[in-house]
Amino acid sequence: MSLCKAEILDFVRRNRVSTTEVADCLSKTGSIPGVHAITPGQFRAGNVHWVYTYEESNWPLHEQIRDIEEGDIVICQGFDCHGRALFGDLVSKYILLYQQASAIVARGMLRDAHRLVKEQWPIWCEGYNPEGCFNVRPRFQLDPLIIAEGKENYHGAIAVCDDTGVVVIPKEHHTLEFLDKLKAIEEMEDIWYECIDRRKWSTFDTVCLKKYLLP
């Protein structure tokens, strides 16, 4: 892990920098659409380990989750699974408890919702479906271009997860410049709340006109 990446992760974790603030630093981009926290109050930030499955099979997923590193945030993406749940409690327990991943982000449906909620696992997903993928080897290989694109976009990136959703900080933003943006937006948020709460300014005066910058 690069020094800049480590510093960004440390700052985000220590200050619980929200996904909203991170997305603002990315010019209001970076979110994974449609995923929601299974249990409220969760906050996770970590290195992304991207895995995939496809063709209504979770066989490739079972193969890939053996390589998860402790502390990783596992982003699992399903292709051509037609709304079937990618996995459920068994896989979640293996990833989080035995592989010691920090969180799971499922770009697809999950099953066993009652167990996932009961355990209060740090999981984000698109929803639930009791009908799951099949434990059979897919007939064909997934398009190598899809795999290459997924690894390029996610592997080694930083994911930040909270009640609002999930935002991914791409590798090209693991810089001191981006760290400075995070620090600046934290300071700006403090100023805005001070203007609203103590000075009783309007949001228009604070956010749009930025009167706190006037002499």
Residues 119 and 181 in one domain: no
By the 10 Å C-beta count (0-12 exposed, 13-18 middle, 19+ buried), 175 is classed as middle
Residues 41 and 61 in one domain: yes
Q: Average pLDDT, stretch 38-57?
A: 96
Residues 116 and 188 in one domain: no
Residues 110 and 185 in one domain: no
Domain count, the chain: 2
Residue 215: its pLDDT value, please? 77
Residue 2 has pLDDT above 90, yes or no: no
Residues 155 and 183 in one domain: no
By the 10 Å C-beta count (0-12 exposed, 13-18 middle, 19+ buried), 140 is classed as exposed
What 3-state class would DSSP assign to 154? helix
Residues 148 and 191 in one domain: no
Residue 1 has pLDDT above 80, yes or no: no
Residues 189 and 154 in one domain: no
Residues 160 and 185 in one domain: no
Tens of pLDDT, residue by residue over 99-113, are 999 999 999 999 999
Q: Which residues contact 185 (CB under 8 A, 6 or more apart)?
A: 21, 24, 25
The domain that contains 94 carries what CATH number?
Answer: 3.50.30.40
Residues 62 and 165 in one domain: yes
Residue 163: its pLDDT value, please? 97
Residue 141: its pLDDT value, please? 92
Residue 109: its pLDDT value, please? 97
Residues 67 and 125 in one domain: yes
Residues 103 and 206 in one domain: no
What residues make up the domain containing 141?
Answer: 3-170
pTM of the model: 0.93
Residue 6 has pLDDT above 90, yes or no: yes
Nearest to 52 by CA among 73, 88, 80, 76: 76
Tens of pLDDT, residue by residue over 143-199, are 999 999 999 999 999 999 999 999 999 999 999 999 999 999 999 999 999 999 999
Residues 72 and 42 in one domain: yes
